[in-house]
Amino acid sequence: MKQVFTKVLLASGLVMGLTAGAAQAQNATTPDIKRGETLFTQGDVQRGILACVACHGQAGTSAIAMYPHLAGMPAGYIVSQLKNFQVAEGADRSARMNIDGSPTAMAPIVAKMTEQDMNDLAAYISKQKLSKPAFAQHAADIEFVHRGREIWRAGIPERHVPACASCHGAEGQGMPEQFPFLSGQHPEYILSQLHSFAEGARTHGGAENMMGTIANRMSNADMKAVADYAAGIR
């Protein structure tokens, strides 16, 4: 009887241990929106994590064209991009670099982040609303607008460039967790990222770096037209 009782205790202890372990694992990855807000607005100076608000603006609405709006981006997409700034194990560079091959300003910040930090930040960012979206800057130039719309809707068939809308949506709202929204994004930022893909500074653009291939087939004029058009889509 004593042996049976001992076995029951051991089994109960094992189940409780497994349950506690599972709960801890879940707690370790469950996003904490309030903590994400603190990281976004205040950073963590002791760990070298600067406040995101300094560049990306209040609640993720950026007032500076070289820094993207983040408000409302899907959480999974935010996490994947933060990881792209880190140097993966076995790699000698990250998947997102400056065009000259140097690390971006994000690199030293994200290098200090844990998986929990990223999940918390992403949870907070994804719940924000873009309060001041950017607009097309050349809406009065009919030919310019037409070219941008043409590339967005139909691509450039003769150069095997697919329609941007096929991944980023007819109204530029993107595809949750995979492709970012571009509607209301700064056109200057969109253009700079197309150049980064074309130059190989960004190597994570979909399967086999699809965006790198696409951007390489576009002229600078094409990039400018579609970047401006994308910003103005609603």
Q: Known binding site for heme c: residues?
A: 52, 55-56, 106, 164, 167-168, 211
> Annotated binding residues, as ranges?
52, 55-56, 106, 164, 167-168, 211
Let me know if 1 is exposed, middle or buried by CB neighbors in 10 A (0-12, 13-18, 19+): exposed
Element (H, E) at 179: none
Its sign, for the CA torsion 138, 144, 146, 151, is negative
Q: Which residues pair with 164 in a beta bridge?
A: none
Give the residue carrying structure tokens 């709960």. Answer: 23
Distance, CA of 53 to chain centre: 16
Taking phi over 0 as left and psi of -120 to 50 as alpha, with beta for the rest, 59 belongs to left
With vertex at residue 223, the alpha carbon angle to CA 92 and CA 177, rounded to the nearest 5 degrees, is: 60
